[in-house]
Amino acid sequence: MIVVTGGAGFIGSNLVYELNKTGSNDILVVDNLTEAEKYRNLAEARITDYQDKEDFAKALSGSSSWLDRIEVVFHQGACSSTTESDGRYMLRNNYQYSKELLEFCLERKIPFIYASSAAVYGAGSPFREEPGAERPLNVYGYSKSLFDSVVLRLLPDAGSQVVGLRYFNVYGPREAHKGPMASIVLQLDDQLSRGDKVRLFGPTRGYEAGEQRRDFIYVKDVVRVALWFAANPEKSGIFNCGTGRSRTFNEVASQVIRTRGHGEIEYVPFPESLRGHYQSYTEADLTQLRACGYSRDFVSLEEGVREYLLWRTDTGEV
């Protein structure tokens, strides 16, 4: 049995569907459906069972027979809001819960592949998986950095696979439930559906209007990387998961406009509330991922945005 925590969420649900495509249907999805609309992400998926995250956490310390059937855990569940101000909640949800699940997997020698984040780097550069590179700008990034540090301490003595993937800016199908935390691709497309303008931030921290840069990675690639590690259980470590190429927000907006066939860019003042908490530039250093053996090319921004927006049209999401 395969466990996918956060399986009703954005990356988790895409992972479930890709597992289905490869013939894997014996899947336990773990999530919190207080936000009930997330169920739509799994409406057509084939899974064996669903458990609430709190029930799953309690079960880990028990002796249920199904625990012995777990072959791999994809830990995608987390609070991903970069503006969350409740540090106690964030640390309990992203750090303590992850530690408990990691300990369970190490004890039973179950491969553990989990979601970290490029938010651990903050505004710093270079974006390499090395000590001292982590300078998070918010408690979300701190919660991920703190757990990564636990993993790095335990890795030398780990008797089974542990992989952390530091996701950069992921976009793609099944993210609509994320609201303001959804990708800029979805937000711009929604703006175009309501009018003829897309809005980007004006100048900030030395960047001209719309020229802030991020490493945008299509969710299909994120899933491919995770499944590659699952197929190579001898590989462990913490790895960047981006394309290795930063692109401007202007380029993203232009591709959205090009795909939809209409629209123009409008620039708005940079919010005071984000000053000091915003990554104006990210670009994954893929040296360690490539050295580990992952050689597949990544989907280009142009191809990924086009495919994603056509998916939104075909499924009636917009």
The answer to whether 294 is a known catalytic residue is no
Q: Where are the beta strands (DSSP E) in 168-279?
A: 169-171, 197-201, 213-214, 216-218, 237-241, 247-248, 264-268
Alpha carbons 13 and 32: distance in angstroms, whole number = 13
Nearest Cα to Cα of residue 305 among 186, 193, 212, 207:
186
Check 178, 197, 220, 235 and give the catalytic one: 178
Find all residues with CB under 8 Å of 196, minimum gap 6, and list them: 262, 263, 264
Q: Which long-range contacts (CB under 8 A, 24 or more apart) does 35-39 make?
A: 35/177, 37/177, 38/8, 38/9, 38/177, 39/8
The answer to whether 178 is a known catalytic residue is yes
- Tokens read off for 83: 């503006």
Nearest Cα to Cα of residue 94 among 109, 82, 106, 105:
82
CA distances from 313 to 47, 150, 308 (A): 26, 42, 9
Alpha carbons 190 and 253: distance in angstroms, whole number = 12
Alpha carbons 86 and 138: distance in angstroms, whole number = 11
Helix (H) or strand (E) holding 4: strand 2-5
Residues in the chain: 318
Check 114, 121, 140, 308 and give the catalytic one: 140
- Tokens read off for 272: 């005071």
Which residues are tagged catalytic?
140, 178
